[in-house]
Amino acid sequence: MRLLSRSSVLATIRTGGPQWVAPTRVAIGAMLLAPVDGAFPDLLWFSHPGSSILPVTAVSAGLALRTIEVLAGMSFVAGFGIRLAVYPAAAIFMVRALANLAGSFVSLRDAVHTLIVPHGDWGYGAVYLGVALLLGDFLTTGSGRWSIDYWLCEKLRPVTDRVSRR
């Protein structure tokens, strides 16, 4: 408990209370938990067209990436550790944006076809790019008042701070 009450840990979970944060973070968490167009199974060499048998390392890497995606999604829905979950979520959405934009633009498709399986269209790519840019706002605002971070911050705040704020 003493470690959690240090100011550096409290600074990580301290959160503001803008009204847009809670519904936005839940929507982003839902996008991570249930991707519209698939995510990491279509990335890299995990399910490249023409490959009938996937190596064990590819399957385990795909499962590890999907696990990271699910953990980040649950973090966004619950509002726990948002400032840490922003980094993998931004990378996930940038790769999704690149994969969807590559499906619509021939020059981009030719440039990335060895790493990412192009699919989707530019509309999904623009949405994913917008979400990736929006994630930067969570670094400054935190996860909002309706979150586990806010509850922890209030619970771990010293008693003198709580009394003086009222």
Band of pLDDT at residue 8, cut at 50, 70 and 90? low
Is pLDDT above 80 for 1?
no
pLDDT attached to residue 152? 83
Cα–Cα distances (Å) from 144 to 8, 78, 137, in that order, read 19, 11, 12
50: left (phi over 0), alpha (psi -120 to 50) or beta: left
Please write the tens of the pLDDT for every residue from 129-151. Answer: 899 889 988 888 888 888 888 88
Please write the tens of the pLDDT for every residue from 91-124. Answer: 988 888 888 888 788 888 888 777 777 777 888 8
pTM of the model as a whole: 0.71
Domain ranges in the chain are: 23-141
Residue with the bigger pLDDT between 87 and 51: it is 87
